[in-house]
Structure 1
Amino acid sequence: MTSPPIPAGELEEFRAAVRKFAVDAFAAKAAYWDEKEEFPRENRELLAKLGYLGLVIPEQYGGSGLSILHATVFLEEISRVCFNTALVCQIAINGPSRAIEILGSEEQKKRLLPKCVSGEYMFGIGMSEPGAGSATTDMVTSVTPDGDGWRLNGHKVFCTGGHLATHILVFARFGKTKGAYGIGAVIVEKGMPGFTVGKPDRKMGGRGVAEAELYFDNVHIPKENVLMVGDENSTKSFRVLMSSFGPERVGNAAMCLGVAHEALELAVAYSKERHQFGRPICEFQGIQWKIADMATQIHATRLMVHHAATHLENGFPNPLAAAQAKLYANEMVQRVTNEALQIHGHYGFTRDFPLERMVRDSRGFALGGGTVEILRNTIASIVYGRSFNQRRD
């Protein structure tokens, strides 16, 4: 299904408005959040006040009800200015709130979504485990029946913003199942007995939005906090839940696009100003070819991202389009930021310029939300029309 077209003028007006807002509100402290490794709380509060955290949440739940394409443009422009603030937006716009909106019960939507819009609630995702990263179906975190509710036990890692989240969407195994069978999802709330958060991890990029380990020791989960019960007799529930990562993948690609776009703009401007051998370095063919390749790759990425944002299946982006957009964008942003730094020479390597930060921030895109290797497996499976067993039996 293709979403209704948005007039080009309307989308560009929206882009211009977001660009101005981002520059005015976030540019001054973009380096600060990275340098201090501090969460941009004041930025999140402003985003909530202006309604941006509920950009795509339907109006009946307090949101703006805009399209996924609007969200991709929004993320692109915020990423051009402040990557850490864009991460905050990504979690709010393309994280668990999207899964709740499409897969949740009406009670869950009414209870949770309005407070996601207001910023009172902040969600995280508990999926990866120490022994189950790319091999997601090796997860051992489990849910067992307990009266009219459930008990959750397990350990999750790399939860972005997990130390600050009020709620965590936790993927877990229902019943004594193996592989993709029986995997479902529950909502854990901060303060539930048995739920503890580890010390935030220090990381290479996106340093203002840390990641944390999560521990679940016999946590009682009321039935109203079950998003999807794992089907012990099939892989259906797991496949549906994995489709909910489509928005995250498209948002990830949109952020890559924003970072790369800004890196290109900086490289173009610098190459006009920097003189060597008596002339601007933009007059050297070697620089011109770098800029041409960067611009072409960015253009191709934008087309792929917009295609993925407008081709939906059951409310989520088409899995093939989302995987292809993320794969291409993840590798593109590393090439472009690296070339932009190279054009700046040793100045780009210093912390007086934003290029070294962009290179660091760009690296994590290819890890979260599906590594580029796993994305290639996914794409190949769809192209072949069959799944491939990656396990050594």
Structure 2
Amino acid sequence: MFQLDPELESFRNDARKVAERAFAAKAAYWDEEEIYPMENLKLMAELGYLGITIPEEYGGSGAPVVQGTIMLEEIARVCFNTALIAQGAINGPSRAITVLGSEEQKKRWLPGCVRGENIFGIGISEPGAGSAMTDMITSATPDGKYVVLNGQKCFCTGGHVATHIMVFARWGKTQGPRGIGSIVVEKGTPGFEIGHPGPKMGGRGVAEVELFFDHCRVPVENLIMAGDPDSTRSFKRLMSSFGPERVGNAAMCLGVAQGAYELARSYSLERKQFGKPICEFQGIQWKIADMATQIHAARLMIYRAATNLVDGFPDPLEAAYAKLYANEMVQRVTNEALQIHGHYGFTREFPLERMVRDSRGFSLGGGTTEILRNTIAAMVYGRAFDQRAGS
């Protein structure tokens, strides 16, 4: 039987208390007003949450990935927007920098991440390169002590408040995965512009923006990994940095599902129809049983992925399993929780409609469920498949 040690269970209890006390009350506010929960970021920095997995020598706690996973789960249980901020802090570029960055880069950027002063975003998707990210055309051209960026990115989560963006770009006249590398661009760099936030369905407190690069000259010291025009090595190594994001995505799914399940279970004990609590009806019992089972299965997959690390990152197959299952599980659970609440769940008096909206985006970011199935199939077969249309 898989069981967390007492220290991690104690941490979970503390994280749940903090989330319920500090984040739950204004969860609807951030969503309705579409405001970034900056006060929550500051509180998480004070509590050490933003640096929980960052090594101690750079100001963090050096905790295992699974501890950060538990934290995300407990925060997402009450406030998805706050969890999004924590996710970006512990599983975004800071994790990639911790594993792939130079010593100088770690000392320069990570302490600020821990304090909540450095807010990192990721620039990967482009208008013509979403799931087919290897179709990206944003270019990176070495020029002495600089790298010159030209191109456009979209759907950068939290980019409107970010101080730094980890940008993926193409070195040389290459195609496919060859030549793709990454560099960090700081806000205010000439030639770098951030677009206006666009409206979206869920996670409305943490907006998404477009990024524009017009002969943007970035110091070579900001280079995480130059693209290798002659091989896929740089791309594969950078792609491994998606592991923490995928496990964190799954952990947030778990938290939202857990919150929805708890609301539905409590409501089924209180709500009466035909003279008795609706929990007495087998149809409701089966819904609750299915929800509990799916949440339990997701938790085991997620914790396993967060525990089994390869070269500092979660095992790619374990991360893909966990994200795929959790992405679809959270949609089923939140939808059933709303159904148990009846029309009350459809109103904004209850958080279920927000949870349903928030849960829908999980299966799009960090690899769609379709792409994850392709990834899993390739690893199961032990070979790559050409996914291009007409192939």
Normalising by the smaller structure, the TM-score range is over 0.9
- Out of 292, 296, 309, which is 1:295 matched to? 292
- C-alpha distance in 1, partners of 2:310/2:379? 14
Question: Equivalent residue for 1:196?
Answer: 193
Question: Equivalent residue for 2:240?
Answer: 243
Matches within 5 A, 1:60-209: 60-209=57-206
1:382 aligns with 2:379: yes
Question: Equivalent residue for 2:317?
Answer: 320
- C-alpha distance in 2, partners of 1:23/1:38? 20
Question: Equivalent residue for 2:17?
Answer: 20
Give 1:279 deviation, angstroms: 0.6
Give 1:248 deviation, angstroms: 0.3
> Please, what TM-score do these two structures have when normalized by structure 2?
0.98
Residue-by-residue CA offset, 1:240-262 (whole Å, 9 max, x unaligned): 10110000000000000000001
Question: Equivalent residue for 2:220?
Answer: 223
Question: Equivalent residue for 2:56?
Answer: 59
4+ residue runs over 4 A deviation: none
C-alpha change, 1:76 and 1:195, in structure 2 (3 Å) is same
Question: Equivalent residue for 1:262?
Answer: 259
- C-alpha distance in 1, partners of 2:121/2:127? 17
> Please, what TM-score do these two structures have when normalized by structure 1?
0.98
1:48 aligns with 2:55: no
- C-alpha distance in 2, partners of 1:355/1:119? 30
Which secondary structure does the structure 1 equivalent of 2:148 belong to?
strand
Residue-by-residue CA offset, 1:264-319 (whole Å, 9 max, x unaligned): 10000000101001110000000000000000000000000000001111100000
Question: Equivalent residue for 1:349?
Answer: 346
- C-alpha distance in 2, partners of 1:262/1:12? 18
Residue-by-residue CA offset, 1:142-184 (whole Å, 9 max, x unaligned): 0012122210011000000011100000000001100000000
- C-alpha distance in 2, partners of 1:134/1:43? 32
Give 1:238 deviation, angstroms: 0.4
Give 1:7 deviation, angstroms: 5.4
The aligned length equals 389
Percentage identity across aligned positions? 72
- C-alpha distance in 1, partners of 2:94/2:144? 28
1:339 aligns with 2:336: yes
Residue-by-residue CA offset, 1:350-385 (whole Å, 9 max, x unaligned): 000000000000000000000000000000000000
- C-alpha distance in 1, partners of 2:124/2:212? 12
Which secondary structure does the structure 2 equivalent of 1:369 belong to?
coil
Give 1:202 deviation, angstroms: 0.8
C-alpha change, 1:7 and 1:349, in structure 2 (3 Å) is closer
Let me know the Cα RMSD of the aligned residues.
1.0
Give the residue type in structure 2 aligned to 1:217. Answer: D
- C-alpha distance in 2, partners of 1:340/1:163? 33
Give 1:21 deviation, angstroms: 0.7
Give 1:221 deviation, angstroms: 1.2
Question: What are the ranges of 5 or more consecutive residues in structure 2 without an aligned counterpart?
Answer: none
Which secondary structure does the structure 1 equivalent of 2:22 belong to?
helix
Which secondary structure does the structure 2 equivalent of 1:73 belong to?
helix
Give 1:323 deviation, angstroms: 0.4
